[in-house]
Structure 1
């Protein structure tokens, strides 16, 4: 009987995130009175607190794509939090609703900064996180969020934008940006045209920012998301998955984070 109870307890602990290996947790934190739903992933076998990496979702919301990136970061040894910019873990099923959600944040910079900082504080204070070593990555809408955080002087060592918009109403000021910046861009992305890319480069150079820009030929918007092809077909959107570019961009991120935290 004791053996059966012990085995059952082990199974329950494993299912709930106990034991060793990659652990996953549904977490809740707040921005003022708004409940935000995050997804935390870390390697329970890693020794000591690890650098923390925030993952900001696409305009669709806190979906499986963002969670998968958190899992991949945990496999690299980071403590990762896929955060929630919309509240309640909301996910849009249609581009019109996604645009509404994203617009709510983009048009209210104070809200954007608060929602991000609430997640940052949660991750920074987590016992599995070394709160002195923090970074953030974002996808599409999320890419623009992490770039705005860098422009706002966020206390982050690095930010990386995957196929994110580069335009801003709050350009970086000289000496204000603390984070190293990595931009991973699809060269065929109609939502981020060449003139926007050039303006971003000029902005970074003028502000003296430590940045790296990598463009991928043949890649369009949302090139890292396997679900992009389905969205393109269903809604006639100029998006698409590019496995080769996605793999290359992730390898670039791996090097970038390793240089940042170990260099």
Structure 2
């Protein structure tokens, strides 16, 4: 009797253990079950890498971000940093674009991944680039050419976005006739740096702060008119209460530390980002 009781207990334990195992590790769902597809779908997994390219005997260290869960080639967007250099803010924007389905390259316009720590140094770095336009264009073009050869990049055209100094760079790239589908500037300096403008058939979107004391309205108007004269479809969007640097959440701290007339504006940041994404979608996602 004891042997029979022990045997029955063992059977009960095995059945219970099997049921528990099934609860913890559910069997694979049927391929025809639509709910299983929803439950096993993965969102974006953004990974980054150092993306080196060379021109003029110098090496530049960009930051490439993409969704590695996506095996299909996707359109590319170049991100040009503020005058501080290729820092965490530019990398964050590249990550955001990658999560939304683009291959994003935050370019290095200073070389060697240099990042300024003081406004005086940042001013020196940015002025040196913009005062030698052929070299600036060569750096951007080298990044663009090498990016186009990446297996994750689709051949549907590219776009470029830029912040502050980077906004100036991308506006001037459009003015010089760089083959881009769209160019988007956030609080960029619209001062022309191009000696000889070229034809540009893409879209240009310029986001500027109405309270930005570092951007002259007449200079901005002149840049918009010059771009239109070269064939660009230009939109200038002004945010009435926004200061220079309105997209950067760290702008308030930088203003306090260095006494700069800049500041973050959450509403202007959200609105300008949404408008930029809509333009990228309409020009790159065919």
The TM-score, its normalising length taken from structure 2, stands at: 0.81
Structure 2 unmatched ranges of 5 or more? 1-43
Matches within 5 A, 1:162-241: 162-170=186-194, 173=197, 176-241=199-264
Quick check: 1:139 aligned with 2:168? no
Shift of 1:130: 1.0
Quick check: 1:70 aligned with 2:87? no
Shift of 1:31: 1.6
Quick check: 1:248 aligned with 2:280? no
Cα distance between partner residues in 2 of 1:206 and 1:24? 38
Q: For structure 1, which segment, 48-57 or 225-234, has the greater mean C-alpha deviation from structure 2 after superposition?
A: 225-234
Measured at CA, do residues 104 and 172 of structure 1 come closer, stay the same or move farther in structure 2, by a change above 3 Å? closer
Cα distance between partner residues in 1 of 2:105 and 2:225? 32
Shift of 1:27: 2.1
Cα distance between partner residues in 1 of 2:216 and 2:203? 23
Shift of 1:202: 2.7
Quick check: 1:60 aligned with 2:79? no
Quick check: 1:124 aligned with 2:140? no
- 1:124-149 alpha-carbon deviations (Å, 9 max, x no partner): 11111013321110001001111111
Shift of 1:172: 7.8
Q: Which residue is 1:148 aligned to?
A: 172
Shift of 1:171: 7.6
Cα distance between partner residues in 2 of 1:117 and 1:170? 15
> Which structure has the bigger radius of gyration?
2
Cα distance between partner residues in 1 of 2:227 and 2:59? 35
Runs ≥4 residues deviating over 3 A = 169-173, 204-208
Cα distance between partner residues in 1 of 2:91 and 2:242? 22
Q: Figure out how many residues of one structure are paired with residues of the other and give that number.
A: 243
Shift of 1:205: 3.6
Q: Which residue is 2:113 aligned to?
A: 89
Shift of 1:209: 1.9
- 1:10-43 alpha-carbon deviations (Å, 9 max, x no partner): xxxxxxxxxx721111222212321111111111
* Residue of 102, 110, 115 corresponding to 2:134: 110
Task: Report if aligned partners of 1:29, 1:36 keep a CA contact under 8 Å in 2.
Answer: yes
Structure 1 unmatched ranges of 5 or more? 1-19
- 1:208-230 alpha-carbon deviations (Å, 9 max, x no partner): 42111111111111111111111
- 1:133-167 alpha-carbon deviations (Å, 9 max, x no partner): 21110001001111111111111111100100112
Cα distance between partner residues in 2 of 1:171 and 1:213? 23
Task: Report if aligned partners of 1:189, 1:221 keep a CA contact under 8 Å in 2.
Answer: yes
Task: Report if aligned partners of 1:166, 1:192 keep a CA contact under 8 Å in 2.
Answer: yes
